[in-house]
Amino acid sequence: MINYKRINFICGWVAFAIAALAYGLTVEPSVSFWDCPEFITSGSKLEVGHPPGAPIFMLTANLFSHLSTDVSHIALLVNGMNALFSAGCILFLFWTITRLLFILLKDKEEQINTGKIVLVMSSGFCGALVYAFSDTFWFSAVEGEVYAFSSFLTALTFWIILKWEEDSHSVQSDRWLILLAYLIGLSIGVHLLNLLCIPAIVFVFYYKKTLHPTPKGGLVALLFSFLLIAFVLYGIVPGIMKMAGIVELFFVNQCGFPFHSGTLLYAFVLLLVLSSTVLLTHYTGGIRLLISFFIVCCLLLGVTLCANGLQTVALTLFFSFSVGYLLYKKLCAIPQQALRVLNTLTLSLLVIVLGYSSYALIVIRSVANPPMDQQSPEDPFALKDYLAREQYGDKPLLYGPTFLSPRALKESGHFYVYEYKNGEAVYRKSSANQSGGKDYYQPAGYKIEPQYQLETCVWFPRMHDTRHANGYRDWLGTMNGKTVTYFDKASSRNVVLEIPSMQDNLRFFFSYQLNYMYWRYFLWNFVGRQNDIQGSGQLEYGNWITGISFIDRLLIGDETLLPDYLKQNKGRNVYYALPLLLGIMGMIWQVSRGKKGVQQFNVVLLLFFMTGIAIVLYLNQTPHEPRERDYAYAGSFYAFSIWVGMGVAALAHFLSRKIKMKVSVAFATLVAWAVPLQVLGQTADDHNRSGRYLCRDMGKNYLMSMSEKGCPIIFVNGDNETFPLWYNQEVEGFRTDTRVCNLMYLTGGWYVEQMRRPAYCSPGLPFSLAPQFCRDGVNDAVPVNPIVNYTIDEAGNRHEVRVKDYIEKIYRDNPGKYPYGKDPFEWSNIVKYWLSSSDEDLRCIPTDEVHISIDKVAVAHSGMRIPSGVELPQFMKINLKDRSYLIRPGILLVDLISSCNWERPLYVAVTCNLNEYLDIKNYLVCEGMASRIVPYRTDSLVENTNTQEMYKNVMTRFKFGGLDNKSLYMDETNTRMAVVLHRQLVQLAEELYKEGDTRKALQVLQQCSKKIPFSALQNAEYTRVGRMGLLYHLLGETEQGRKVWQTDYDKQLQYLRWYEGMSDSRLKQNKKECIEKIYLTNDLLSEAVYAGMLTGTDDIACFLRYVSKLRVRFVGFGTEYTAFVNTLNTLLKEYQNLNPSGVISRK
């Protein structure tokens, strides 16, 4: 026995070491894309990241960040911490598998023979290492996200409950339960995923404490476990904040104490009551008294505050009586046991609160107002919303609107407006001058929930988001539909509408949410993955494959016809479904091992379900997610890996029926090592992030594209153009004179407030719109040139009178009087008379073309280059004609252009899509990875690239993230970024060529070839490589040009080959993509032909061959495709004008 324990201990650490080694060798040396730079910033400098925050992660990451004095190593250290946590997860997985197997294999004397020990250890290694090397888990293990830590806690939690089960006969074993409660409390400060272990825990408890488990008992246990999750998730987590809010409000607003006094008092009383209840269990035997104290503790935690108004009272009474009654009924029989149970219960509550109190960190840091302070959760009200992730909005789960449901209307005066349901009251910290220097929470209305026409709401709404209407339709193809009629108040008539039926909802749920967004990920990890390119249903991207060609042919078609780059993709991993088979065998075998086996199976199954399919149900995902979401389900892959490990033992047992046990154990051990090795062999190349610095360097490139003078501001939008910049500024202290302003965040009032503050060497943003007019609820979205009246002409026709017409009329009728300023459409006057109006109804943009007057002296001083021949106009005119509303980011963008007065340079990241906010793309001049906003129009004659500045930036200041390392692994996100960088360089070279500076153009191209070789771009479908080749040719480097162009052209031709080889039904499905590719290839070819680059007609012939073949196929499909066939005919005809020498006679 002692022998087994020691072997188990050592083998576990060996698994840990193997995993740690693998992760250590492949860890990313700096930040990674997506949220990692943000998390590393939040850890290193304790700034506040996105909701719901991760204070415990921040603390541990902070600890690791101190291990080096060199700021450029901090990211590596945090990544390394995650590598260790992940290896720790593998350690506990190993011990979990061996523990479960031990229970199934031990004899009556709790003994196990040597053969079985070998088998148990092999199983442990197999399961643990398959998971260690699996795609999803390895991905999170080598970067700075919270998922590695979260996985570690899940593994630890699961292992602890088994530990408890092992020695639950002693009183001390209760400690494991208390420890579990503490870990759950702490894990709220990492990621809420850990709460999903609770059902599995409850079942282990149930099986241990019940002599004869019954299905009915199981059901009760299941319900109880769900209640327990709800108790923590919807009770304690928001409840404490709500209670704190109530006390805080009373003390600050009623008693006039300073901010936070109520919160502190509440925290003190809560801890005092909880700990005295714990102590009381030691000193009194009065069960009824103790139960009352326990209930008081729960109520103090605010667990019943999740309802509104009277419901809260009812819930409180119900909770108190039912919990009191149940506890008393269960416990009164054996008073001493009652004490033990109550002691454990109150201690558990106490330690959950202790763990959860880590959130004080978030508040304290938010009060300090660091540059990154997302949602500014510095009071209990804001913190509650932060924890509930309110800004992400609600997704209907059981009952709600479909994506076609119209909003409900209600009457307001003569108009109908959207109906909202009022939620809880909102309070906002009041600034000192508003409340006479005293701290005060200003009531700021109520939270509102949009309401939908009830007739159009359905049960189990899986297609719910209006913004994804096209995505839903695309995915379903044809919608079955259900006709509903509702009364439209605005037009006062009945409207008939077709909304998705239950069948459509279920079809979407099964085919997309469950199959595509869960099982596909599952199979990636245990069967195989086609490539690492994000799929949205296509045959060539991101599917699961087996590696067994005849099966894959059925799944995705003939793989040999795929474009070469997809065939060679490092993310192509095949395991021949071996881990899956092992897992299934493990499941079957486990169930067949008697009562214990079935119980174990149920527990693991619960973990598997809760961390997989339950999340799918909860997330209610929409089509076209911005990235693959497999990381969210790592927990369920963990659970399945337990079965993979069991599969080894299963194999040995199945085989032992035919052959000797010894031989079968030997064979199973062989399999146990062969399978993880196969997985490792496949996944090692696409998880090796060593040498990759692209994320960090892209952040630097954005920042370095800006002028060194004048504390410039850069506007950004997406995650990957925001977080890397923050990381560079906050962690590495790089270009802290600049300011990053995320336009999406400007929709939140808190962010505007933060942008007003200075940060490091950068002064605050000089908004001219006063703070009280940028708050949430004020100027969120203002109408553009709204209708004020109607006139009826002689013919009886109605004409709209808009504000602009109205103002123009006043100014015409009263010359010399300027009620709305001299130029009423000038921005400063719009701010003064309209947006800052005390009358809410007047807050609008009174024109469809805003003027910003240009201070020519300031422009001259700004150092901005004005191209020769450009006469600065008097006004910069911003067109709003296509908009009926302007949302806050748009308003503030105009405001900043006006108030920065060109003295403070404004830039827009080249990857930032401004369209959503404002149309100023004709006022941008590119200077690298950012475009400067200029006062003159760049659309007509003036070039939109400042080649001089950009050349300097590209050649001397840009960094290329180690892309020139040919063996670097480029995943899709990195490739996309490399493509953007490459595009900018090629654009610069093109502009230089147009300007006639061929020497510099060639230099840029050579720099581009050297720093961003094709190896870095080969994973991308669209690149500027073809254009680059063309440019080489034009610059006289014909041979090089031809070579470069050919690589791109061949890739496109290979796509045509792939489409051409598809079966009829698949080709029909991929019609759109196929056409797109034909056009793209045609563009590439015709440009080359036009430039006289092609010497023979081989390339053209090759293209025409594919086009003709495809044409024939489409002709065969019938009349539906006539239009498409006709365009192909025209295309083919165009190429008939070629003369034999290949020189083109076409314009």
Interface residue list for other proteins (CB under 8 A): 44-46, 56, 58-60, 62-63, 66, 169-175, 177-179, 182, 186, 211, 271, 281-282, 334, 336-337, 339-340, 343-344, 347, 351, 354-355, 357-358, 360-361, 364-365, 367-370, 756-760, 764
The DSSP call for residue 872 is P
In angstroms, give the least distance from the CB of 430 to other proteins: 15
Choose between 282 and 657: whose C-beta lies nearer to other proteins: 282
CA angle 117/119/123 to nearest 5° reads: 120
Q: Nearest distance from residue 279's CB to other proteins, in Å?
A: 8
| Torsions phi, psi for 86 (to 5 deg) | -65, -40
By beta-carbon proximity to other proteins, the closer residue of 63 and 454 is 63
Helices 578-591 and 634-656, packing angle to 10 deg: 70
Q: What is the DSSP string of 557-592?
A: S-GGGS-HHHHS-TT-EE-TTHHHHHHHHHHHHHHT
Q: Residue 1126, class by beta-carbon neighbours within 10 Å (0-12 exposed, 13-18 middle, 19+ buried)?
A: exposed
Of 451, 459, 450, the closest CA to residue 482 belongs to 459
In 830-927, DSSP assigns E strands to 849-853, 875-879, 885-887, 906-909, 924-926
Question: Closer to other proteins at the Cβ: 313 or 368?
Answer: 368
How far is residue 77's CA from residue 43's CA, in Å, rounded to a whole number? 11
Q: For residue 786, what is the enclosing H or E element?
A: none
Question: How many CB atoms lie under 10 A from the CB of residue 223?
Answer: 12
Q: Closest distance between other proteins and the C-beta of residue 72, in Å?
A: 17
Instruction: Work out whether the CA dihedral 527, 533, 535, 539 comes out positive or negative.
Output: negative
Residue 807 and residue 601: Cα distance in Å, rounded? 75
Least distance CB 141 / other proteins (angstroms): 22
- To other proteins, the closest distance from the beta carbon of 895 in angstroms equals 17
CB of 346 to other proteins, least distance (A): 11
Is the Cβ of residue 343 or residue 678 nearer to other proteins in the bound state?
A: 343
**Residue 365 parent element (H or E):** helix 360-367
Spatial CB neighbours of 206, under 8 Å, sequence gap ≥ 6: 213, 217, 218, 221
Q: Smallest distance from the beta carbon of 172 to other proteins, in angstroms?
A: 5
- DSSP codes of every residue in 117-145: HHHHHHHHHHHHHHHHTSHHHHHHHTSSS
Given a contact cutoff of 8 angstroms between Cβ atoms, the answer to whether 1124 and 1092 are in contact is no
| Distance separating alpha carbons of residues 372 and 345, to the nearest angstrom | 39
Q: Toward other proteins, which CB reaches closer, 185 or 635?
A: 185
**Least CB distance to other proteins at residue 165 (A):** 14
Nearest to 1100 by CA among 1080, 1112, 1085: 1085
Q: Helix, strand or coil for residue 547?
A: coil
Kindly tell me which of 751 and 936 has the beta carbon lying closer to other proteins. Answer: 751
Please identify, using beta-carbon distances, which residue of 66 and 1043 lies nearer to other proteins: 66
Sign of the alpha-carbon dihedral angle for 248, 253, 254, 256:
positive
Considering the complex, what minimum distance in angstroms separates the CB of residue 370 from other proteins? 6
| CA–CA gap between residue 238 and residue 384 (Å, rounded) | 6
Count CB-CB contacts under 10 A for residue 1087: 15
How many Å apart are CA 1051 and CA 1067, to the nearest integer?
Answer: 19
CB of 770 to other proteins, least distance (A): 12
Nearer to other proteins, 374 or 1018 (CB): 374
Element (H, E) at 866: none
CB-wise, 305 or 351, nearer to other proteins? 351
Q: How far is CA 587 from the centre of its chain?
A: 33
Cα–Cα distance for residue pair 76/734, rounded to 1 Å: 17
Least spacing, CB of residue 175 vs other proteins, in Å: 5
Q: Are 321 and 277 in contact (CB under 8 A)?
A: no
Q: Which of 236, 218, 240 is nearest to 228 (CA)?
A: 236
- DSSP label at 516? I
Task: Return the structure tokens found at 120.
Answer: 């148990």
Closest distance between other proteins and the C-beta of residue 739, in Å?
A: 12
Q: Which is nearer to other proteins, 349 or 1034 (CB)?
A: 349
At its nearest, how many Å lie between other proteins and the CB of residue 70? Answer: 15
Burial-class residue 1009 by CB neighbours within 10 Å (0-12, 13-18, 19+).
middle
Tokens for 420? 């909202």
User: Shortest Cβ distance from residue 722 to other proteins (Å)?
Assistant: 20
As measured in angstroms, the least distance from the Cβ of 155 to other proteins is 16
> Closest by alpha carbon to 1004, among 1017, 1020, 996, 993?
993
Does residue 783 have a cis peptide bond before it, meaning omega lies within 30 degrees of 0?
A: no
State the minimum distance, in angstroms, from the CB of residue 232 to other proteins: 18
Which of 352/782 has CB closer to other proteins?
Answer: 352
Least spacing, CB of residue 97 vs other proteins, in Å: 23
Nearer to other proteins, 752 or 981 (CB): 752
Per the structure block, which two tokens stand in for 789?
Answer: 């009246």
The Cα 956–Cα 705 span in angstroms is 11
What are the residue ranges of helices labelled H in 70-113? 74-105
Nearer to other proteins, 169 or 658 (CB): 169
Q: CB 283: neighbour CB atoms within 10 A?
A: 8
| Min CB(697)–other proteins separation in Å | 24
**What are the Cα distances from residue 90, in Å, to 128, 153, 343?**
6, 11, 34
